[in-house]
A = this chain, B = another copy of it.
């Protein structure tokens, strides 16, 4: 049996004591776990950002990890807290769309509504369910508690999902939207390898493209960031398998000033 593993993903930042309090509660109930930070810099209350983050992180973990995600602007209201099994992965998170991108790739196999207060801290606050509900439930699950004891089952279709758009591709043109802006200023789209392969959109590395946002920008198709000149705008398949826009040794986000959700078109 490997050491039980609990990961934490939040929008709490690290200057506030909220992540620390959750860790304390987890260790109080399960001193033998290893707690692993995935990231606490999800922008405040940005469920979309957190949902994309989880989809790009959770699938790389072994199934024995338990993932706790707290981006929870609706804390204390009627929104539900969930235990989810997505493919082989197990998560605890609010039912506010955080599961959206992950569930797209890893089908939801089981969902439980966390409704059984016996597994919570006594008299939980109305404003910090990460500490008072999710942390103690995570500790109990890590110690082997059966998920069905945490509350009633839910049908996956009952869950809240974010409205995510699909990209479009023809052999000459792909059209999609910016889904995520990463730490390097790379702009990651919803245009996946499969979609482009089906449409026969397979540009040669080094070939010239035209990016319309709608203003036109020259853009080179490459296989990796360092393949063009410093400062050049490039398009490539990123490590998640989606087209991204990047500036070599720079930031495409700063260059193009394109916020998340912006539409883009790439033409040969």
Using a CB–CB cutoff of 8 Å, the interface residues on chain A facing chain B are: 2-3, 5, 7, 9, 11-25, 27-28, 31-32, 34-45, 49, 52-54, 56-62, 64-65, 73-77, 79, 125-128, 131-132, 182-185, 223-227, 236-239, 249, 251
CB distance from A141 to the nearest CB of B (A): 17
A225 touches B127 (CB 8 A): yes
A14 touches B39 (CB 8 A): yes
Assembled-state Cα–Cα distance A183/B21 (Å): 14
Which B residues touch A227, using CB under 8 A?
76-77
Q: With A13-B183, A65-B24, A226-B73 in contact, is A31–B57 under 8 Å at CB?
A: no
B41 touches A15 (CB 8 A): yes
B38 touches A35 (CB 8 A): no
Copies in the complex: 3
- Shortest 5 CB-CB contacts between residues of A and residues of B: A76-B224, A24-B60, A2-B31, A128-B239, A13-B183
Residue in B closest to A39 when the chains form the complex, CB atoms:
B14
Which B residues touch A61, using CB under 8 A?
23-24, 27-28
Which B residues touch A9, using CB under 8 A?
20
Which B residues touch A223, using CB under 8 A?
76, 126
B27 touches A65 (CB 8 A): yes
Complex partner residue of A5 from B27, B125, B251, CB under 8 angstroms: B27
Q: With A21-B60, A127-B224, A226-B76 in contact, is A15–B31 under 8 Å at CB?
A: no
Which B residues touch A40, using CB under 8 A?
14
Assembled-state Cα–Cα distance A184/B44 (Å): 6
B239 touches A49 (CB 8 A): no
Residue in B closest to A246 when the chains form the complex, CB atoms:
B127
Assembled-state Cα–Cα distance A125/B56 (Å): 14
